[in-house]
Amino acid sequence: MTDHPSPPAVVPSPLTAFFWEGAAAGELRIQRCQACGTFIHLPRPVCRRCHSFDLRGEVVSGRATLYAHTVTMKAFHPFFVSRLPYVVATVELAEQAGLMLMTNVVDVAEADLHTGMDLVVTFEALSPELTIPVFTAASSIGASR
């Protein structure tokens, strides 16, 4: 038995299950309107551009640029206390201008984080039940893939 705190529970809804199923399978999936092609995040039941209800999760490239980041120095949940400091970031996905995702940037020294840098998705298992899509520097991955 361990008393290490659990990560926040994620309870997928019919609207969000694709995202978490994708993460568990090592894929970044983002909701996309099947009528007009607009990507939408966070998931919504209707397309804000054309009002179609035909929306589906689609695998995206996992390429992004760093829009903004903040180094979290104080934890607000027991699971994250041992992870301090960690980087919370807003990234712009390559698929569409203004398509933003909030995530973490991992394995990049703070001094090397810079706005606009190229990032690529990777996946981190927080627990056997929960895997999250996080991002790292594209330059550190490119050579090995």
Partner 1 sequence: MKSRRVAIVGVGYSRVGRHTGLSERHHAAQAAIAALDDAGLTAADIDGSTTWGGDAIDFAYMLGMNPLRWHLNVGVSPAFVTPAIHAAMAVATGQSDTCIAFRIMMQQPSSATLASGEAMLGATSSEDTQFLYPFGNFSPTQWAGLMMNRYLYDSDATEEHFAEFASIQREHATRNENALQRTPLSAAEYLAAPYISKPLRLLDCDYPCDSGSAVIFTTEERARDLRQPAVLVDAMALSAVHDMNFEVMADMSHTAPVHCAEQLWSRTDLRPSDVDTAQLYDGFSVITFQWLEALGLCEPGAAGPFIAEGHTRLGGSLPVNTDGGACNVGRRHGANFCIEATRQLRGQCGDRQVPGAEVAVWANAVGPFAGAMLLTST
Q: Does 82 bind partner 1 (CB under 8 A)?
A: no
- Beta-ladder partners of 38: none
Select the span of 10-18, 31-39, 56-64, 136-144 touching partner 1 (CB under 8 A). 10-18
CA distance 119 to 105: 8
Task: Provide, rounded to whole angstroms, the least separation between the CB of residue 143 and partner 1.
Answer: 27
Sign of the dihedral through C-alpha 94, 96, 98, 102: negative
CA distance 9 to 52: 31
Q: Which residues bind partner 1 (CB under 8 A)?
A: 5, 7-13, 15-16, 19-20, 41-43, 67-81, 83, 85-86, 88-90, 92, 97-98, 100-104, 115, 126, 130, 132, 134
